[in-house]
C-alpha cells in the first residue's frame, strides 16, 4: 500500500482478490480513543451489494480451494504467516496505526500483529493428521468416514483483539477447505484490514474476502445470504442471539464465542510470589481489561484475603495510564465511549451501594486522561454479589475481590453466573487444583495463571452457558468447519 499509514488513511474492501472501494463510495471515520477528536482514518462502508459480491466471489473460489490437498492448503497458510511479517517497516507502521485506532499499548499491538502468523503455522502442522479418514471394516459393511468443508464461511470478529481472534478461526476455516468472508468490527478496522490484505496477496483470488461497515446496515444481508453455509461469530451475547436467530432461518450451523465473567479461585495453599501477582494483574488489566478471557471476579480464601487485596492493589498500582503510543504507558484507554460509559456505570453503582472502590495507578498526562476514554485500574471490595460489577462482564479495568471459606463455597460462587467462558485455580497442590477445575462450568480453566498469556493455542476454546456454542482454536477448531460424510459398501468392496 502506497499510503503513509502514520497519518489518516483510507482502507478498502477485499472482493475476489481486489482491494477496492465500496460500491457506494461510502466511508466512516475511525477515531483515536486516547484523543477522540483525532481522526485516524476512514474505513470502507460496505453495502448489501458489496456483501453479495464478496460472498459470490468466495462461492466461486470454493471448488478449486476445496480440491487442494491438506498439504497444499498448509503450504498456503505458511505463505500467509511469512507475508504478514515480510516487510518490517510496513509491519511497524501497521502496529503503530493499530495503537492509534484501538488504544492498546504498542507492546500489545506488536504481540497481536507479529504473533498472528504463529496461528497459521500451528494449523498448517495438522495437515497429515487431517488427511487420514476413519475406516470401519465389515461386518456388517465397510465404511469410510471422511469430512468435507461447508463452502462459504462467514467469520465475524470484534474490536478488542480482532486479529488474534481472527487467528483462532480463519486458518482453521481455510485448512478445512472453506473459502471465507470476513467482517471486522467498526471500532478498530484499519490496521486489521491492512493485515488481511497481506493475507489475500498470497492466496488464490476469492479465498479471502473482507467486508467492513455498519452491522446495522449489512449484518442481516451477510447472515441470511443463501450461499453462506457456516457462521463463526465472536462478540456480545445480545449480538450472538441475533446471529443465531437469523442463521436458524437457513439452518446454518453457528459457532458463537460470546462474553465471559471469568472467576479466579485463590486457595489458601496458593504460592503467591511476585510472579504470581504479576500474572494475576496482567490477566486482569491487559488491554485495559477488554479481553473476553480476562480475570473478572477474584475469589480468595478468607485466610489469604487481606494479603491478596493488599499485594494485588500494590502490583496494579504500578500501572501507568495514558496514550498507548507513549513507551512509558502500560495501560491505554477503553476503546470507545459506549464501553467507557458501561464501566463508569458499574463503578458508580458499586460506590452508591457501599462497596469500597479503589482506583490505582499513575496518570501519565492529566490533560490527555481527561480528554480520552480512560479509566484507571479499579479494585472493588466489600461488594455484594448482585452488583453489576460482580454479575456482569465489565470489559474494562475494574475487578471485584471477594472472600470465601471453603472449596465448595468457592466452586458455587464461581459457577453462580450466566457465563462460562474461562476460569482459573491458584494452588500449590496439583491434584486439588485439577479436582476443583473439573467442577467449574467453564470452557477453559487456567492453573496458576489467567488469560491470553496462560492459554495453549493447541487446545479448543469456547464457552458454556451464555458464553457460547462450539469451539475455536486447536485441531477441534478445524473440525468445526467440516461436516462428516460416511461412505459405505458391501463387505470386500472397499478392501477394508
Identify the band that residue 7 occupies on the pLDDT scale cut at 50, 70 and 90: low
Nearest alpha-carbon partner for 11 in 50, 42, 54: 42
Q: Which of 292, 393, 422, 480 is catalytic?
A: 292
* pLDDT 10s digits, 241-297: 999 999 999 999 999 999 999 999 999 999 999 999 999 999 999 999 999 999 999
- Decide if pLDDT at 133 tops 60: yes
Continuous segment of H or E residues that includes residue 157? strand 152-157
Cβ count within 10 A of residue 105: 25
With cell 480476562, the residue in question is 294
Between strands 9-10 and 468-469, the pairing is unpaired
Backbone phi, psi, residue 239, to 5°: -65, -35
With cell 471500532, the residue in question is 187
Q: Say if residues 371 and 328 touch (Cβ distance below 8 Å).
A: no
E-strand stretches of 355-467: 356-359, 362-363, 378-381, 398-404, 422-426, 444-447
Q: Give the pLDDT score at 8.
A: 84
Q: Which domains does the chain show, CATH number per domain?
A: 9-258+472-484 (3.40.605.10), 262-456 (3.40.309.10)
Q: What is the crossing angle of helices 215-223 and 237-249, to 10°?
A: 40
Dihedral sign for Cα 65, 71, 72, 75, please. positive
DSSP type of residue 452: G
Q: For residues 338 and 218, what is the distance between their CA atoms, to the nearest angstrom? A: 21
Q: What is the mean pLDDT of residues 199-217?
A: 97
Q: What is the mean pLDDT of residues 309-336?
A: 98
Q: What is the pTM of this model?
A: 0.96
Burial of 134 (0-12, 13-18, 19+ CB in 10 A): exposed
Q: Which of 101, 187, 257, 441 is catalytic?
A: 257
* pLDDT 10s digits, 145-179: 999 999 999 999 999 999 999 999 999 999 999 99
* pLDDT 10s digits, 436-472: 999 999 999 999 999 999 999 999 999 999 999 999 9
Cβ count within 10 A of residue 485: 11
Continuous segment of H or E residues that includes residue 70? helix 70-84
Nearest alpha-carbon partner for 7 in 102, 114, 101: 101
Nearest alpha-carbon partner for 74 in 37, 129, 27, 25: 129
The three cell numbers locating residue 106: 504498542
Q: What is the mean pLDDT of residues 108-130?
A: 96
Identify the band that residue 6 occupies on the pLDDT scale cut at 50, 70 and 90: low
**Annotated catalytic, 422?**
no
Cβ count within 10 A of residue 326: 17
Share of the chain above pLDDT 90, in %: 98
Q: What is the crossing angle of helices 274-285 and 305-316, to 10°?
A: 70
Amino acid at each position: 500500500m502506497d499510503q503513509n499509514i502514520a497519518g489518516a488513511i483510507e482502507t478498502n474492501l477485499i472482493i475476489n482478490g481486489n482491494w477496492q472501494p465500496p460500491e457506494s463510495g461510502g466511508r466512516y471515520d475511525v477515531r483515536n480513543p486516547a484523543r477522540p477528536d483525532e481522526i485516524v482514518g476512514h474505513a470502507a462502508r460496505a453495502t448489501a451489494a458489496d456483501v453479495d459480491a464478496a460472498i459470490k466471489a468466495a462461492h466461486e473460489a470454493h471448488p478449486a480451494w476445496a480440491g487442494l490437498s491438506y498439504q497444499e492448503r498448509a503450504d498456503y497458510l505458511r505463505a500467509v504467516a511469512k507475508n504478514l511479517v515480510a516487510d518490517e517497516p510496513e509491519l511497524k507502521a501497521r502496529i503503530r496505526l493499530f495503537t492509534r485506532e484501538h488504544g492498546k499499548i504498542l507492546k500489545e499491538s506488536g504481540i497481536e500483529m507479529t504473533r498472528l502468523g504463529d496461528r497459521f503455522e500451528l494449523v498448517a502442522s495438522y495437515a497429515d493428521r487431517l488427511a487420514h479418514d476413519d475406516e470401519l471394516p465389515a461386518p456388517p459393511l465397510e465404511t469410510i468416514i471422511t469430512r468435507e468443508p461447508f463452502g462459504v464461511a462467514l467469520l465475524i470478529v470484534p474490536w478488542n483483539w480482532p486479529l488474534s481472534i481472527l487467528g483462532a478461526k480463519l486458518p482453521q476455516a481455510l485448512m478445512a477447505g472453506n473459502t471465507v468472508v470476513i467482517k471486522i468490527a467498526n471500532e478498530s478496522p484499519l490496521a486489521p484490514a491492512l493485515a488481511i490484505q497481506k493475507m489475500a496477496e498470497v492466496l488464490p483470488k476469492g479465498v479471502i474476502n473482507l467486508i467492513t461497515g455498519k452491522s446495522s446496515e449489512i449484518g442481516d444481508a451477510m447472515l441470511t445470504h443463501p450461499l453462506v453455509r457456516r457462521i463463526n461469530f465472536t462478540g456480545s451475547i445480545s449480538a450472538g442471539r441475533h446471529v443465531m436467530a437469523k442463521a436458524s432461518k437457513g439452518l446454518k450451523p453457528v459457532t458463537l464465542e460470546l462474553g465471559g465473567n471469568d472467576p479466579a479461585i485463590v486457595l489458601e495453599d496458593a504460592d503467591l510470589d511476585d510472579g504470581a501477582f504479576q500474572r494475576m494483574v496482567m490477566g486482569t488489566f491487559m488491554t485495559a481489561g477488554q479481553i473476553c478471557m480476562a480475570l473478572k471476579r477474584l475469589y480468595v480464601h478468607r485466610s489469604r484475603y487481606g494479603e491478596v487485596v493488599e499485594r494485588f492493589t500494590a502490583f496494579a498500582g504500578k500501572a501507568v495510564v495514558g496514550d498507548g503510543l507513549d513507551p512509558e504507558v502500560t495501560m491505554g484507554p477503553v476503546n470507545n465511549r459506549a464501553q467507557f460509559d458501561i464501566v463508569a456505570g458499574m463503578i458508580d453503582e458499586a460506590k452508591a451501594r457501599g462497596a469500597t472502590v479503589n482506583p490505582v495507578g499513575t496518570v501519565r498526562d492529566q490533560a490527555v486522561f481527561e480528554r480520552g476514554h480512560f479509566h484507571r485500574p479499579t479494585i472493588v471490595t466489600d461488594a455484594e454479589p448482585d452488583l453489576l460489577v460482580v454479575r456482569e462482564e465489565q470489559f474494562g479495568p475494574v475487578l471485584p475481590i471477594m472472600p470465601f471459606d471453603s472449596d465448595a463455597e468457592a466452586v458455587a460462587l464461581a459457577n453462580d453466573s450466566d457465563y462460562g467462558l474461562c476460569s482459573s485455580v491458584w494452588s500449590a497442590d496439583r491434584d486439588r487444583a485439577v479436582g476443583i477445575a473439573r467442577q467449574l462450568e467453564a470452557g477453559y480453566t487456567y492453573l496458576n495463571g489467567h488469560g491470553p498469556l496462560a492459554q495453549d493455542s493447541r487446545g479448543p476454546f469456547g464457552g458454556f452457558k451464555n458464553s457460547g456454542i462450539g469451539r475455536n482454536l486447536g485441531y477441534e477448531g478445524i473440525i468445526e468447519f467440516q461436516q462428516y460424510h460416511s461412505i459405505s459398501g458391501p463387505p470386500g468392496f472397499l478392501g477394508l
